Amino acid sequence: MKQDKPCIPRREFLQTSAKKIPGLVVAAAALSTGKTLLAEENSEYNPEDHNYAMGVDIHKCIGCGRCADACKKENKVPLEPEFFRTWVERYVIPVEGEARVDSPNGGIDGFPEIKEKDEILRSFFVPKLCNHCDNAPCVQVCPVGATFKSRDGVVLVDESYCVGCRYCIQACPYGARYLHPTKHVADKCTFCYHRITKGMLPACVEVCPTHTRVFGEEGHRSSPLMRFLRFKDVNVLKAGLNTKPKVYYAGANGEVR
């Protein structure tokens, strides 16, 4: 009776394949070390010393859209209104009926005045971005390992390895990915990885006039994020999907999706 050959781990498969297929070299290296080329260029930066995450206080957001605008400029995101790494949504809650959500141009140009015949209970703004999940569906479905989680807790895309298959875009339950129109690769928020590995804040955090966004590290008691988590009643979006998001929202009730 012929015995089936034992399966080899995915990482070992990629490393072995990288020796035979040149296009796999970069991603195989990234998976084996947990570092990106950006981190490796900074010899003083050790990703194992960090575990990044973000907090968002919905109560403070005024919907100015400066975060989305700064993100586009900092990361050279296409200017067309369908391409965003981060954006702001407005939730309008009527006295009766379901919540309505709009996000014209990601909130960059502001929001039109609410003109409703029905009585409005309240409205509020919710910044959205990649949740850098610990159990990220995008990482699981990528057939070539281009999407991976680095050792400092950031989900990244290796552009030189991405084949533009869109599997990760379809798998993301937060709608936080898009296919770059000229590069033809998946693109998303990286927490401004080129900045945080140099000790700087993400662009969206730096420009926020109300300190809606809080960036820091989980497990570091002195981190602003840990203070945010200790003193705020926080939730994560779509918790039932078990993606284990690393973007924590204060003030996000069942209306936010």
The tally of CA atoms less than 13 A away on the side-chain side of residue 251 is 16
pLDDT band at 62 (very low <50, low <70, confident <90, very high): very high
Closest alpha carbon to 157 in 176, 16, 79: 176
pLDDT digits (tens, 9 = 90+) for 185-227: 999 999 999 999 999 999 999 999 999 999 999 988 889 999 9
Residue 158 backbone zone (phi > 0: left; psi -120 to 50: alpha; other: beta): beta
Torsional sign, CA 179, 237, 50, 87 = positive
Q: Tokens for 73?
A: 């400029």
Question: How far is the C-alpha of 164 from the C-alpha of 143, rounded, in Å?
Answer: 11
Region 136-159 average pLDDT: 97
pLDDT digits (tens, 9 = 90+) for 103-125: 999 999 999 998 876 788 999 99
Q: Does residue 26 surpass a pLDDT of 80? A: no
CB burial readout 82-103, b (16+ within 10 A) else e: ebbbbbbbbbbeeeeeebeeeb
Closest alpha carbon to 129 in 99, 88, 170, 92: 88
Percent of the chain with pLDDT over 90: 73
Task: Provide the strand spans (E) within 95-250.
Answer: 100-102, 120-129, 147-149, 155-157, 177-179, 186-188, 213-217, 234-235, 247-250
Question: How far is the C-alpha of 24 from the C-alpha of 10, rounded, in Å?
Answer: 13
The pLDDT value given to residue 257: 82
Q: Does residue 5 surpass a pLDDT of 90? A: no
Q: Does residue 34 surpass a pLDDT of 80? A: no
Q: What pTM value is reported for the model?
A: 0.83
For the CA atoms of the chain, what is the radius of gyration? 20
The pLDDT value given to residue 33: 39
Q: Does residue 36 surpass a pLDDT of 70? A: no
CB burial readout 14-46, b (16+ within 10 A) else e: bbebbeeeeebbbbbbbbeeebbebbeeeeebe
The pLDDT value given to residue 16: 45
Q: Using DSSP bridges, classify how beta strands 52-57 and 247-250 pair: parallel, antiparallel or unpaired.
A: parallel
Domains of the chain: 41-252 (3.30.70.20)
Q: Does residue 246 surpass a pLDDT of 70? A: yes
Percent of the chain with pLDDT over 70: 82
Ranking 3-7, 54-58, 182-186 by mean pLDDT, the lowest is 3-7
Q: Using DSSP bridges, classify how beta strands 100-102 and 120-129 pair: parallel, antiparallel or unpaired.
A: unpaired
Q: What 8-state DSSP symbol labels residue 200?
A: P
Region 44-53 average pLDDT: 94
